[in-house]
C-alpha cells in the first residue's frame, strides 16, 4: 500500500481539469522570458570565474553551454506540448514518474532557484560596492561581501536585492515581465556576450 502511494501518478485529464490560470503573456513574451532564464544575470557575475577555470577555452565552454541550454529548452518544449499545464518540471514528473519523484524534483527546483538567486544577489552587491568605491563613496565591506569571504552573517545589500526581486515578481506578473532586465536589455546583452566570447 505504501509503495503505491510513492509511485502513484496523477492522470493528465485531472491535471488539465484542475487548471484555472489565465494567460497573461504572449508567445513572444514567453520566448524572451525563456532566453532571460537561460542567459540570466549569472553570465555577468560568473564570467570572470569561468575564465579562470577555462582559460582561453572560455569561448568553447560558452558554445557548449549554449548547446546544452538549447537541448534543455527543446526537452521542456516537448513536455509542455504533451502536458499543457502550469507547474513546470514538477507537473511533468507527477504525470509521468509519480508523486514521490515529483516531490524530490519540487524541492530540488526550490534549492536550485534559491542558490542561483543568492549567487546573483551577492555578485550584484559586490559590483555595487566596487562602483561606489570608484566614485569615492565606499560602503562598509561587511555590506557587500559574501558570508564565505569574511566573518559576516548577512550581506545586507544582497538580501535587499533578493527581497526586492522576489516581491516584485510575486505581486505583478505582467509588470515584472515588462521590467525584466533580460527582456528590456536583450539587444544590449547579446552583443556584450558576443564581445566577451571573442575577447
Query: Is 66 among the domain residues?
Result: yes
pLDDT reading at 46 higher than 60:
yes
Band of residue 182 on the pLDDT scale cut at 50, 70, 90: very low
The alpha carbon torsion through 177, 113, 129, 43 (nearest 10 deg) reads -80
Task: Let me know: does 90 contact 105? Beta carbons within 8 Å.
Answer: yes
Q: Which three cell numbers stand for residue 191?
A: 552583443
Confidence of residue 26 (pLDDT cuts 50, 70, 90): confident
7 located within any domain: no
pTM value is 0.61
Q: How many domains does the chain have?
A: 1
Q: What is the pLDDT of residues 59-74, one digit of tens each?
A: 888 888 888 878 887 8
For the segment 131-152, what is each residue's pLDDT rounded down to a tens digit? 888 888 887 776 766 666 656 6
Between helices 99-134 and 88-96, what is the axis angle to 10°?
Answer: 160
Structural domain of residue 61, as residue ranges?
40-198
Per the domain annotation, does 27 fall within a domain?
no
Looking at the domain assignment, is residue 184 inside a domain?
yes
Amino acid at each position: 500500500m505504501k509503495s503505491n502511494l510513492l509511485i502513484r501518478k496523477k492522470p493528465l485529464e485531472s491535471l488539465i481539469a484542475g487548471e484555472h490560470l489565465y494567460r497573461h503573456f504572449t508567445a513572444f513574451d514567453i520566448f524572451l522570458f525563456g532566453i532571460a532564464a537561460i542567459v540570466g544575470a549569472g553570465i555577468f557575475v560568473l564570467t570572470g570565474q569561468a575564465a579562470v577555470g577555462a582559460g582561453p577555452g572560455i569561448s568553447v565552454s560558452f558554445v557548449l553551454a549554449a548547446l546544452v541550454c538549447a537541448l534543455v529548452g527543446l526537452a521542456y518544449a516537448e513536455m509542455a506540448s504533451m502536458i499543457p499545464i502550469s507547474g513546470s518540471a514538477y507537473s511533468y514528473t507527477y504525470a509521468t514518474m509519480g508523486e514521490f519523484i515529483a516531490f524530490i524534483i519540487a524541492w530540488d527546483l526550490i534549492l536550485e532557484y534559491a542558490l542561483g538567486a543568492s549567487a546573483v544577489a551577492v555578485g550584484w552587491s559586490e559590483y555595487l560596492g566596487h562602483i561606489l568605491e570608484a566614485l569615492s563613496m565606499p560602503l562598509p565591506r561587511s555590506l557587500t561581501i559574501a558570508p564565505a569571504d569574511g566573518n559576516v552573517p548577512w550581506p545586507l545589500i544582497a538580501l535587499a536585492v533578493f527581497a526586492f526581486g522576489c516581491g516584485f515578481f510575486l505581486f505583478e506578473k505582467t509588470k515584472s515581465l515588462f521590467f525584466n532586465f533580460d527582456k528590456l536589455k536583450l539587444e544590449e546583452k547579446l552583443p556584450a556576450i558576443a564581445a566577451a566570447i571573442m575577447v
